[in-house]
A and B are shown apart, each in its own frame.
Chain A
Amino acid sequence: MMNIDMRTRKSPMQKLDGRTKLIALSVIFVLVLLFSHPAYILALLGVVMVIWWSAKLPLQTIKDLFKYFLVIAVIILVVQIFFYPGQTELIRLSNPVPAIGFSGFITLEGILFGVAMVLRLVVIMIVAPLMVLTTPLPELMLALVKLKIPYRFAFIMTTALSLLPSIQSHAAIIQQAQLCRGITYDTAGKFFTKLRASVALLVPLILGSFRDSQTLEIAMSSRAFGAPVKRTFLLDSQFSKIDYLILAVTIAILVTGIVLRILGFGVY
């Protein structure tokens, strides 16, 4: 028997309709941009972490993301701390240097703004994989289409995601072939050596992808992609009671958030 039933998954997050997840995660996205106080964003981060935990996703994924993010976070923090035009002086470092926009002292607002920016990016960075990792791509596409996103756009988005592993394996094959012919990918190597090696990898990878994309176009057209009829879907998904409940809570939170923001909360 073919298993296309979506309700046989392990975690509660996977049982939800794709639309519910898209809407709920979009609301988090909106809220994180709405508020600028670190405490509020930290609270949102807490909510996201609870969702991550309930989705039974490995924490290692977050750690992997942070490996790349750490440098960016430090740069953002330093820039904001030194250059944010705040009022509350904490530490005076030097005389003002107007040429580079440095006021000469570190302000409370600068630190808060820097921390808020970093936290915001952390939330955004964790929310996106939460969607992708708990929703098989066909379900994600169905959710987008049911939310009235044009099918072609939804298809391009999900196909791009689904082709990533194939591009990765193609890159690995090219790397192996090049290693056999003496190119070094030594990560401890000099910057320019690494740069040259990555160009040697990227050129065949990109050219190969272009060539494959033409075959893909032929294969898709051969299977009636773009036929002038209303497309049907093999998968089907309906809202359950839990979906309605989560949507109601989400909308309530969004409305509360907007009201709080209008009343002046969540900013400093």
Chain B
Amino acid sequence: MSALVEFNNVTYTYARSTKPAIEDISFSIEPGEFVALIGPSGAGKSTLCYCFNGSIPQLFNGSMSGNLNIAGCDPFEDDIPVLAQHVGLVVQNARTQLFNVTVIQEVGFGCENLGLPRPVILERVKQALDFVGLSGLEEREPTALSGGQQQRLAIACVLAMDPEILVLDEPTSELDPIGAEQVMDVIARMNQELGKTILLVTHDMEFVTKYASRVMLLNDRRLIMDGTPQEIFSKVELLAQSRIRPPQVCEVAEGLRQLGYRLDPLPVTLDDMVQSLKVLRHG
């Protein structure tokens, strides 16, 4: 299977900046993967997200080098509206992404821009709102919704355009725990039920271990680790250097390992941990 996303030695420097925001980034993503992008603030995570739909280099004045292939498109060559059909980008602050007067208009906006026929748009809007659990709020003002609802609405807006890839930049950072859980549930289902390829930037490590099939760690502009959650979270010291706190389960497991208990592979979820301890107990 050929890769859906390919980054080859990508470096980007913002205008009026002497240091690159991301440097020599190379990776590829296969269709259907759920990739969590983690890293401390200022590591370059958002910059990397903007590369996916061509916002970088097209909307920012900076310099970029390397090669990119996003679902067969080249962000250097193809316009953002073309890339938008393959990549849905949801940014951190939901409020600033919503600019229509009703929920239905908001979700339909992307499909209207693509010139889809009206019945198709109505169907897609309905499906997207059903999927994120906002059916019945069609005529409400987006600004009148709660933070969690606004973020789910922002997801519905890009989902209605039916892209293969969804890039979500810290979608839950400004939400209360319940709102965050509902948003995370929608993201997980987009991957599991709709087969969407997900790149999620988050600081919620519990969610990462629960749903992500792969974790990439970005620190100080560079991609320093790329692997399964087990591989990444077992490197507790490396994570600490990047100011990332692994899930508590991993910290406990690592502590047990250092005490001489054999935990292999490293449990990353509570269920894994229970299983591992059962195995240890019964030999």
Contacts and interface: CB of A to CB of B under 8 A. Distances in A.
Interface string A97-125: 00000000000000000000000000000
Nearest to A227: B81
Contact of A224 (B96, B102, B110, B125): B110
B158 A223 contact: yes
Contacts of B53: 221-222
Given A136-B101, A218-B55, A234 B108 contact: yes
A212 B59 contact: no
A235 B111 CA distance: 13
Interface string B99-121: 11110110011111111111001
Interface stretch (A25-33, A48-56, A88-96, A162-170): A162-170
A224 B117 contact: no
B100 A228 contact: no
Given A216-B97, A232-B121, A233-B118, A224 B104 contact: no
A120 B55 CA distance: 47
Q: Give the most central of A214, A224, A225, A232: most B CB within 10 Å.
A: A224
Nearest to A3: B139
What secondary structure prevails in chain B residues at the interface with A?
helix
A10 to B, nearest CB: 15
B74 interface: no
B114 A229 contact: yes
A75 to B, nearest CB: 36
B95 A166 contact: yes
A236 B112 CA distance: 12
A231 B116 CA distance: 8
B97 A215 contact: yes
Interface stretch (B85-93, B187-195, B231-239): B85-93
A225 B113 contact: yes
A171 to B, nearest CB: 14
24 contacts: A2-B125, A2-B138, A2-B139, A138-B102, A138-B105, A162-B99, A163-B99, A214-B59, A216-B96, A219-B97, A219-B98, A221-B53, A221-B58, A221-B80, A221-B84, A222-B55, A222-B158, A224-B81, A224-B161, A226-B80, A229-B114, A232-B118, A232-B121, A235-B105
Given A136-B101, A227-B82, A231-B115, 14 more contacts: A2-B104, A162-B101, A218-B89, A221-B55, A222-B55, A222-B84, A222-B158, A223-B113, A224-B81, A226-B80, A228-B79, A229-B114, A234-B111, A235-B105
